[in-house]
Structure 1
């Protein structure tokens, strides 16, 4: 278990944040710039000594203000990856990686050199110097160096923030692999929702130095009482699915989730492969009777569980589809025109989904 409770004051800013998260797994701290995300990470790494609080990882206490306990940063076994790679410019990629390996405790278990190189796809880079690497390649090498130090906890402070969209898309699949291939707890800081969708097991929402909510990603994404998520135009839910069928003739893949099935453009994935879906509320339309003659293929029976406030002219509908929840953003006019009330059986028309394959490949 990761247990964090921190109180610290800076000029003009106060941090008062507490949350717990299961380990191993990926805990993502999400929030706007200046909310205190990186400060929490610095405290866990030992780069900041909070005024009060407690930090514990897997039953090992790293900081306890009441007991006057503070474990030095170099003894915390935290691997840290920052926005900038901080590689040694005079060393080759291989030497940078082996520097991390030299820092690993002799009795520590963890991935070996060849495994890390393969996991991150950096075999062809070993002889290069950092100046000859792209931004995405540098971050993969920095991640490899951190992994080879065999940390008890991996800390990542907005590692993709300085990358353009193409380089970010290059690195994200490798990060996703870590969720399944390695059993190292990971604390990840970001303000990008696509990184949350791809990586988070546990989500921590922060604003103005405080934790607004913390819990499993799927549970928080479906909540309409969290403006940081529900108030966004790209608000939506995240569903864990499995590949159930491949239709070669029609070029479609069927994905099953608790409560139903969805079809998406065909993906080269084996049956049973884990897939994570994001379904945005604006891509879910509602019908009070089963429509016919539509190009939309994903049509699910649902029950209108609740009507929640949205923007000035719209609302968010919570739709129960078996054991799962979908969100739909509709106009206030549509609520009156269709006579929508909680408990009403409806049909959810899903126009688009974003999906990410998990498991062995971590790409999608």
Structure 2
């Protein structure tokens, strides 16, 4: 599959130098990094708010920037939707009027694209049409802002930390709608975040920025399970993601059985029908390793695998990460240095990953 987004730019903003190079064919590309790493600057280059001094930007096969031949498509002609940290709705307009404002920017000659009823259904905001922005919760305002951007029929949607100003309850409210947008609307998304949990749940492609440079870029599941990406692997939220499907339910035990590339997993009961696709997140700190299959333990999930890589020790601390290959799927485990030494772990060692059902997270 050809890349939907291609970026190779260099630009200096005062003392800060942006020198970024990546390509992505993912449905949702996350730009991830610490504050000041260049995420928002890169988004502004893609959107046309910043004209880079050097480089090239291509979106869905259309050249937006090419400094070598003097091409720079102005922002109003790029057809890029932008959702900010704050919803930025017009306070004097109703929700309906705010949404329809987006249509002013849609190409008049095209019949395709987002229809109002489709957007209302996708975002669950049909009952809000007559309200004023002041009567909306933070999550509702952001959903309306997303809807307004979609009605402009963008070829790309940029979301610059859209959940940063929301509390945890409102974040949980809006995340499923972003997933629906990612999976069902056919519009590529570039999503800026410094939250590992958001990236693990939403991103199909991950771009890691550090001091203005792209340090790594690739499929999210692959990068999340590597022990040599310090910004991810040494975090308390370090872990792996697995694509799964609901196999069956055991209501008598309150469990759901999932089919994953790493093997079957038993997790706490979910309300998803059989056959539903889910994304599973397993924290590295919730994975134990054994050299033999274990009997007589409370943990219900024991996955065979081999050690693929062992990360470096955390400074002067006593922990490190181990990447496992479980039938081709990557799984990250966090161990003490002492445990790794006692197990005599090395690349190629056969091990068993032990995971408690109650520790496995799904949306």
- Report the TM-score range of the alignment, normalised by the length of the smaller protein: over 0.9
Deviation of 1:278 (Å) = 1.1
> 1:83-114, CA deviations, whole angstroms, 9 ceiling, x for partnerless residues?
11111110000000011123211133212101
Specify the SS of the correspondent of 1:179.
helix
Corresponding residue of 2:30: 28
Decide whether the 8 Å contact of 2:89 with 2:98 is kept in 1: yes
Q: For residue 93 of structure 1, what is the aligned residue in structure 2?
A: 95
Q: TM-score, normalised by structure 1?
A: 0.95
- Secondary structure class of the residue paired with 2:311: strand
Which runs of no fewer than 5 residues in structure 1 stay unpaired? 357-363
Show CA shifts across 1:283-336 (max 9, x none). 000112222221111111222233221312122122221111211111111122
- Mapped partners of 2:319, 2:361: distance in 1: 26
The aligned residue for residue 361 of structure 1 is none
Q: Is the 8 A contact 1:275 1:355 kept in 2?
A: no
1:76 counterpart = 2:83: no
Matched, 1:245 2:227: no
Match of 1:333 in 2: 338
3-state SS in 2 of match to 1:309: coil
SS in 2 for 1:9: strand
1:152 to 155, 159, 165: 155
For 1:259-301, what per-residue CA distance to the aligned partner results, in whole angstroms no more than 9, with x for missing partners? 3111101111122211111111110001122222211111112
Task: Report the secondary structure of 1:260's partner residue.
Answer: coil
SS in 1 for 2:148: helix
TM-score (norm 2): 0.95
User: RMSD over aligned Cα, in angstroms?
Assistant: 1.3
After superposing the two structures, state which structure 1 stretch, 306-315 or 267-276, moved more.
306-315
Deviations 1:101-153 (A, max 9, x none): 23211133212101101111111211111111111111000000000111011
Q: For 1:58, which of 41, 60, 69 is the aligned residue?
A: 60
Question: 1:200 and 2:203 equivalent?
Answer: yes
In structure 2, the partner of 1:209 is 212
Structure 2 residue matching 1:99: 3-state secondary structure = helix
Segments of structure 2 that go 5 or more residues without pairing to the other structure are: none
Shift of 1:346: 1.8
Corresponding position of 2:322 = 317
Per the alignment, residue 219 of structure 1 pairs with 222
Matches for 1:42-53 after TM superposition, within 5 Å: 42-53=44-55
Q: Which runs of structure 1 show a deviation greater than 4 angstroms over 4 or more consecutive aligned residues?
A: none
